[in-house]
A and B are shown apart, each in its own frame.
Chain A
């Protein structure tokens, strides 16, 4: 039906590291369509890095297929259509910005004609003759982006692209990419900043235990989490708030003697709880009711999947089950972004099916 294959199509990819007991990738399916931005989220050790390595041609899967624009990324020619921004910002020293960008274009069979445009696009036009080892962290990031964009990629793979960038540069980066997406470039993004993923991605895929356990728009993922959190300053004691029907979880921010404490009450029925609270304490103040964030949703999804231990590997963190990992106890999934929310989610782990991720997949019909 289509004359152009999808920028990315991953089908039933499985991969087990030599000597590992459990697979790092356990039947992954993933698509990214032209112009689409897909954020791949998941705890450390869930398989993100292994999947990125498979998609960028660094690794062949044991079984299954990964195709970029219809071709195997293990072929060098396929890789000329992938723009990749990896976490490491190292460059060979002594090469200039222009040489590095021209080099990337030439290796992909592109003419050097577009180099000036791309340098301007990422804001490096004034640093074209600077040698890479004299660049700041943010400038190195932009150089990476320029090298990825100069090949006019079908698929742009961004592995933690805005790490080390300030808010302004981060926004600027996504502004540049918006125009490219309008022109049909697809983006696969991994990031620890779940909020950023929610802002820029059309779709969020959550990977846990080597499987894609949710794949939907950020809105759909958040809607799947009915929790609301009520914050208010009140005289109502913690125990009384806990005893209200429909309350999942309460935390109290310690108050100074004599003053009111601030309660944070997690519930799926905020209206009833609020009525009871205000009846008990009409003077309650600083009232806020907030819905679940994408971060909460991702944590809830991954909490249902016992994670494996994480062993840092050179060149990227990924799960290497077996070996040294047996010595450490298996803990709950932790997103690096997790704050106190982690505890909350774990304590209030739902017994019902409301958070079952299976319902959260809204694959667009092909």
Chain B
């Protein structure tokens, strides 16, 4: 071509002025705000994802929560904040981003995201970050229920440590949701994620103590990241060594991240 004004030879000043779009954090904030609006304006969805785990917790506390485990100084109901909290947290982090991504891919909105100035990574990160208030809400509601049922024996520090473990630790589970959301239709994504969450919850002892189940379930549990998240969350309440659980979760995050990248490449092809 005769006009040889190549893009890169443009005057540096012009270039800088033109490139000065919003930074990644601004874009993330805009995306998170929209995700939160969408979540907030769907009261039915909000009701189910917050209230269901909490009611589930209350039911189990009413049945078993007042027992004192041998050698422990607080009721089972307090420990169940870690196990049922894990359950509620992973439902929120896996379901919301996964189904929302699958829906956007199916109805075509996701194409609009890809042609927008928001990098896809920022858009997906926003879906994950938007689950934080959700998870926190579930845990606060569970704690309130625990207190109301009279099984809450925990110091503020212990409670904050438990919250931090669950809020931060559950974020890597959003990657699993995104893998499924990148590959499946919305209906299939819902089914697949439930098919992952339910067995994992049972086999990790999130609903019933592992001691009440066959021995092999405990063996299976040690391979499940959900088990390690619950154990990590229970550490401030007087659990055992926590380093292994943390390392397993970090390794899981790495594997889930690779799977998400592979799923994305496949969806993008």
Contact = CB atoms under 8 A, between A and B. Distances in A.
B37 A95 contact: yes
Given A58-B111, A76-B118, A90-B108, A107 B22 contact: yes
Interface in B170-184: none
A95 B114 contact: no
Contacts of A95: 34, 37-38
Nearest to B3: A366
Contacts of A316: 111
Interface string B6-41: 010010000000111110000100100010011001
B10 A2 contact: no
A22 B3 CA distance: 31
B150 to A, nearest CB: 39
A84 B107 CA distance: 17
Contacts of A99: 34, 37
B107 A79 contact: no
Contacts of B19: 71, 77
B111 A93 contact: no
A82 interface: yes
B107 A90 contact: yes
Interface in A56-103: 56-58, 67, 69-72, 76-77, 79-82, 84, 86-95, 99, 103
A87 B108 contact: yes
Contacts of B27: 76, 107
Nearest to A18: B269
Nearest to A100: B34
A104 B112 CA distance: 10
Interface in B79-114: 104-109, 111-112, 114
Given A5-B10, A94-B42, A95-B34, A88 B107 contact: yes
Given A70-B5, A70-B10, A77 B112 contact: no
Nearest to B117: A80
B3 A2 contact: yes
B34 A86 contact: no
A287 to B, nearest CB: 49
A67 B111 CA distance: 20
B5 A91 contact: no
Nearest to B2: A366
Given A5-B10, A77-B21, A99-B34, A108 B117 contact: yes
B21 A57 contact: no
Given A58-B115, A88-B109, A315-B111, A103 B2 contact: no
Contacts of A131: 41
B119 A76 contact: yes
A1 B115 contact: no
B111 A109 contact: no
B220 to A, nearest CB: 37
Contacts of A103: 30, 34
A260 interface: no
B21 A108 contact: yes
B108 A107 contact: no
A290 interface: no
Interface in B137-182: none
B118 A107 contact: yes
Contacts of B38: 92-95
A355 B37 CA distance: 57
B1 interface: yes
Given A58-B115, A70-B7, A90 B109 contact: yes
A79 B115 CA distance: 7
Contacts of A18: 269
B34 A57 contact: no
Contacts of B269: 17-18
Contact of A5 (B5, B22, B112): B5
A305 interface: no
Nearest to A56: B115
B4 to A, nearest CB: 9
Interface in A176-191: none
B70 interface: no
A94 B37 contact: yes
A94 B34 CA distance: 10
A106 interface: yes
B30 A106 contact: yes
B116 interface: yes
A69 B19 CA distance: 11
A192 to B, nearest CB: 18
Contacts of B41: 94, 131
Contacts of B21: 76-77, 80, 108-109
B116 A88 contact: no
Contacts of B119: 76
A101 B9 CA distance: 34
9 contacts: A1-B3, A56-B114, A88-B111, A90-B109, A91-B109, A94-B42, A109-B20, A315-B105, A366-B2
Interface of B: 1-3, 5, 7, 10, 18-22, 27, 30, 34, 37-38, 41-42, 104-109, 111-112, 114-119, 269
In the A-B complex, the 4 residue pairs with the smallest Cβ-Cβ separation, listed nearest first, are A88-B108, A90-B107, A94-B41, A70-B7
